[in-house]
């Protein structure tokens, strides 16, 4: 969902990033992408609203889902809020949480 420049910005901050397209999941549905993230103990970062809709995609045990709400969805608009936000928290703090980040606020929702 994100461009190479977003992945590189995260990698430059020391994050172990795998883009869905890098592992043959560019056309995978949301449940397959989430399943892969769970199996690899990864936090999923997405723009996709379905990750906040438990009817469409129920969240159970997972390492965390971060959904960005930015408009327009340019790489610059994605990088600007996500990098400072990730500097504030350890990976363990995201476990079983959906975090919705917009330019002005973040909302944490416990999912399991």
Beta bridge partners of 21: none
Q: What angle do CA 24, 17, 111 make, to 5 degrees?
A: 90
Q: Return the C-alpha torsion angle 110, 107, 68, 53, nearest 10.
A: 50
Question: What does the DSSP 8-state code read for residue 43?
Answer: -
Q: What is the pLDDT of residues 96-107, one digit of tens each?
A: 898 999 989 999
All residues at 6 or more sequence positions from 7 whose CB lies less than 8 Å from its CB, including other chains = 17, 19
Q: What is the pLDDT of residues 37-66, one digit of tens each?
A: 888 999 999 988 776 555 445 567 889 999
Alpha-helical (H) ranges within the chain are: 4-12, 30-39, 75-87
Q: What is the pLDDT of residues 8-30, one digit of tens each?
A: 999 999 999 998 788 777 777 77
All residues at 6 or more sequence positions from 75 whose CB lies less than 8 Å from its CB, including other chains = 2, 3, 5, 6, 9
The pLDDT of residue 55 is 44
Q: Please count the CA atoms within 13 angstroms of the CA of 2 that sit on its side-chain side.
A: 23
């Amino acid at each position: 969902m994100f461009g190479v420049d977003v992945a590189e910005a995260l990698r430059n901050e020391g994050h172990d990033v795998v883009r869905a397209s890098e592992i043959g999941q560019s056309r995978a549905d949301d449940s397959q992408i989430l399943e892969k993230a769970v199996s690899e103990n990864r936090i999923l970062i997405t723009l996709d609203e379905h990750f906040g809709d438990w009817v469409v995609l129920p969240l159970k045990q997972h390492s965390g889902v971060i959904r960005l709400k930015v408009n327009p969805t340019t790489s610059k608009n994605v990088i600007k809020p996500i990098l400072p936000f990730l500097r504030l928290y350890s990976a363990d703090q995201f476990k079983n949480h959906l975090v919705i980040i917009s330019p002005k606020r973040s909302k944490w929702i416990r999912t399991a």
